[in-house]
Chains A and B, each alone.
Chain A
Amino acid sequence: MKRLMVVDDESEICDFLKLFFEDRDFQVTTAFSGLKALEVLDQVKPHVVLLDIHMPGMDGLSALREIKKKLPDCKVIMVTALETRDKIEEAMRLGADNYITKPLSLEYLERDVREKVTLLAKSGKIMNETL
C-alpha cells in the first residue's frame, strides 16, 4: 500500500484529497498543521507528503525541514497558494521534491505523486510487496 500524508490547515482540502487518493488505492493520513504531521510521522512513515506552505503555527517550510530530518527518503511535494519565488526557492533548497500551486489540478497531482512513488520503488526504498 502506498502511503500518502496530506498536510493542510483547510480541512475541506484534506477531505477531498483523501477521498481522491483513497479511491486510487493510497493509504491517506491527514494532518491540519505541521506539528500534528510531525507527531504522527514516525507511526505513518509516509512515502509522499503533500505539504501546504502557508499554515498557522509551524509553517510548511519548518515542517519540511523536520520531515526531511526524520525521514530522508520521504518525497515532499509543496502545495502553495502563491508562486512567491523566495518561498519556493527556500523549499527547494531545504530538499522539497516538487511544488504545485492552488487551485490544484488533480490529474497532474496524481501523476506527480505516482512518479515519486515509482522513483522510490526503483531505488529500492519501498519493498515491492508494500506497493
Chain B
Amino acid sequence: MAFHIKKRKKFLRKALVASTLFALGFLALAVSNFLIQTFLPQASTNAPLLSVLLMALISISTVKPLDKLYAQIFDRYLFKKKSYAHILLMNLADELEVVLDLQELANMVVNTFGEVLQLKTVALLVRASDQEDMEVASAYGWHVSDYRRVRLSRSSPMMALVQASGTHVLVRNQVVQAFSWKEANQLVYDFDLMRASWVIPLFVKSGLSGLLVFSSHKSDRSFDETDFHFFREFGQRISKSIHNAVRVQQLKRLNSELQDSQSQMLQTTKLTAIEQLATGIAHEIHNPLTIISGKAQVLLLQRDKVPLDTRIEEVLKTIVKQTKRAADITRKLLMFSQSSGLSREPLVLSQIIEDTLALVSYQTSLDGIRIVKRLADDVPSFQGNVHELREVFLNLILNAVQALGTEGEIRITLQHVPQDKLIEVRVADTGKGIAPENLDKVFNPFFTTRHSALGLGLFVTKQIIHHYGGSIRAESQAGEGSLFIFRLPLAEIPQAVGSAVPETFSGLI
C-alpha cells in the first residue's frame, strides 16, 4: 500500500515537473519568437533552431530545482511525510487525552518519546503546583535523584526566552539561546559537542503549561525539517492533556489538604469536648466529694474530744480514702484532656503506657481483664506531644478493653528496632477479632461495630501516628483476637545528597 502511494507520488511529481517544463518551454519559445522577430527579423531562418536550443537550456537548468521544489511542497503541504515514529507518537497523543494521572502521563510521554525517537534523554517539565516554578514530572534516561533537584524558576533567562519566542529553544550549557527551527537545524549536527538540549514549549490558552526537553539521538542521525514540524505539532497535541493532568493533581492535593485539616479539626474538637466534659464532671463531682469527705474528717478529727466507736472510725477512714480515690480519677481524666498546644518534648513511652493503664485499671480489674506488659527498657525517648501520644495509647487500650468485653487478656509490647531507627508498639487482645472484610475499614472515620461508639478513636489514632511519620496496621484472625502494630520513626533520616546533574541541565537549576 505504502509502496503504491510512493510510486504514485513520484509519478505525479514527475508529471508536474514535465508539464511545468513544457509550459516554461512554450513560454520561452513564444518569448524568443517575439524577440527574434522584433530585433533580428533577418535571422528568421535560424529561429526554430535557436528556440529549441533555448528550450533545452531552460529545461536542463530548471529540472533539478523544480523537482526539489515540488518534493518540498508535497512533503510540507500535500503529502506530509509521516514516519512510523511520528504515527506512533500521534497515537500516543490521542491516548493521553484520557490519562488524568500526571505521573502516569509524564512517564508515558518521556518513555515513548525517548524510545521511539531513540533519544539519549527526555524530560517533561510542568508548572509545579502552586508555585510558578517548573519541575521535572518525569524523565527518560535520567536518574530520579538527579532530576528531582531541577527547578526552573519563572525568572530564569530560558523561561523568559520561551515565553517571548514561543519557538524551539536550544539550551547550551548555561548559555541560553532561542532559535527558529531552521537555525537550530543548522546547529543540530554537533549536538553532542555542544552538550545542548532541545526545548519544546507546551502552550495552552492560559500560557505555558510545560516544557518537553530532550537531547540528541543515540545514533548519528540528526533531525530534519519534518521532525521539527512534527515536534511542534506533537507539543500542541499533548499540551492540553498535560495541562488537565496538572489541574487534576492540584485538585487532588487540595483535597488531601482539606482532609488533613478536617481530621485535625475533628481531633481538636474531640479533645476540647473531652476537656469540657472533664472540667464539668470534676466540678460537679468534687463538690459533693468534698462535703462527704469533709464531714467524715470533722468527725475523725474530733475523736480526742468525742470518742468514736472503732467500727465507726474505720468506716469514716474508708469514706475519706475512697472519696480521695474518686477525685483522683476525675483529676486524671482532666490531666489527659488538657491539651496545651502541640509542643513536642522527649517522652518516655513506657511511662505514658503506665499512666494510661492506670486510667483504665479500674475498668479492667472489674471486668477480670488481665494486662500483660512487655516494655523494653532500652527504648530511647520519643520526641512528641504528650497529649497526642496519650490519646494514641488510650484509644488502642480502650479499643482492646471493649473488644474483650468481660474477660480476656491484653498484651502490650514496647520495643526499640535500632536497625530501622524506630519504636514499635504492639497492642494485642484475645477478643472476638475483626472480620476480614472490616480489617481495612477500622481506621476510617465513623467506622464502628458498637452502637454507642462514635468510631473516631482509631481514625484519630492513625492521624496522630501519620503526623509523626509513623505507620499503623491491624491484624486479626476471626475468633482469635486482634493485634494493632504501630511504628514511630525515631529521627528524621538525613536528606540524601543527590549525584551530579547532567551538564546539560546545569543551566536550569
Q: Which residues of A are interface residues toward B (Cβ below 8 A)?
A: 10, 12-13, 16-17, 19-20, 23, 54, 81-85, 101-107
Contacts and interface: CB of A to CB of B under 8 A. Distances in A.
Given A23-B305, A103-B293, A105-B297, 17 more contacts: A12-B291, A16-B294, A20-B297, A81-B283, A81-B286, A82-B279, A82-B334, A83-B334, A84-B334, A84-B338, A101-B331, A103-B294, A103-B324, A104-B297, A106-B294, A106-B298, A107-B301
B255 interface: no
A83 B331 contact: yes
A10 B287 contact: yes
Given A102-B287, A106-B294, A20 B301 contact: yes
B289 A23 contact: no
Contacts of A106: 294, 297-298, 301
B148 interface: no
Nearest to A106: B297
Nearest to B300: A106
Interface range on chain B (Cβ under 8 Å from partner): 20 to 34
A3 B357 CA distance: 46
A20 B286 contact: no
A16 to B, nearest CB: 5
A43 to B, nearest CB: 27
Nearest to B275: A84
B327 interface: yes
B294 A13 contact: yes
Contacts of A83: 331, 334
Interface in B225-247: none
Given A16-B294, A19-B298, A82-B282, A103 B334 contact: no
Most buried by A among B283, B323, B327: B283
Contacts of A104: 290, 293-294, 297
B351 interface: no
A10 B279 contact: no
Given A10-B291, A103-B290, A103-B323, A82 B283 contact: yes
A105 B328 CA distance: 13
Contacts of B452: none
A24 to B, nearest CB: 9
A58 B292 CA distance: 26
10 cross-chain pairs, A with B, having the tightest CB-CB distances, nearest first: A81-B286, A103-B293, A102-B290, A106-B297, A102-B286, A103-B290, A12-B291, A16-B294, A103-B289, A81-B283
Contacts of A16: 291, 294-295, 298
Contacts of A105: 297
A54 B285 CA distance: 13
Contacts of A103: 286, 289-290, 292-294, 323-324, 327
Nearest to A16: B294
Contacts of A54: 283
Contacts of B295: 12, 16
Interface of B: 279, 282-283, 286-287, 289-295, 297-298, 301-302, 305, 323-324, 327, 331, 334, 338, 340
Contacts of B287: 10, 13, 81, 102
A23 B331 CA distance: 31
Nearest to B284: A81
Nearest to A83: B331
5 contacts: A16-B295, A16-B298, A23-B305, A103-B290, A103-B324
Contact of B298 (A10, A20, A84, A102): A20
Contacts of B334: 82-84
A12 B296 CA distance: 13
Instruction: Kindly name the residue among A16, A54, A101, A107 whose own CB sees the greatest number of chain B CB atoms within 10 A.
Output: A16
A29 B162 CA distance: 88
B459 to A, nearest CB: 29
A16 B286 CA distance: 15
Contacts of A23: 302, 305
B200 to A, nearest CB: 63
A83 B336 CA distance: 12
A103 B285 CA distance: 10
Nearest to B292: A103
A107 B289 CA distance: 16
B282 A81 contact: yes
Contact of B327 (A12, A85, A102, A107): A102
A66 B401 CA distance: 50
B326 to A, nearest CB: 8
A102 B301 contact: no
Nearest to A52: B287
Most B C-beta atoms less than 10 A away, residue of A19, A81, A101: A81
Given A83-B334, A106-B298, A106-B301, A13 B283 contact: no
A102 B279 contact: no
B291 A13 contact: yes
Contact of B279 (A84, A85, A101): A84
B374 to A, nearest CB: 33
A129 to B, nearest CB: 26
* Most central of B290, B301, B331 by chain A CB within 10 Å: B290
Contact of B289 (A82, A84, A102): A102
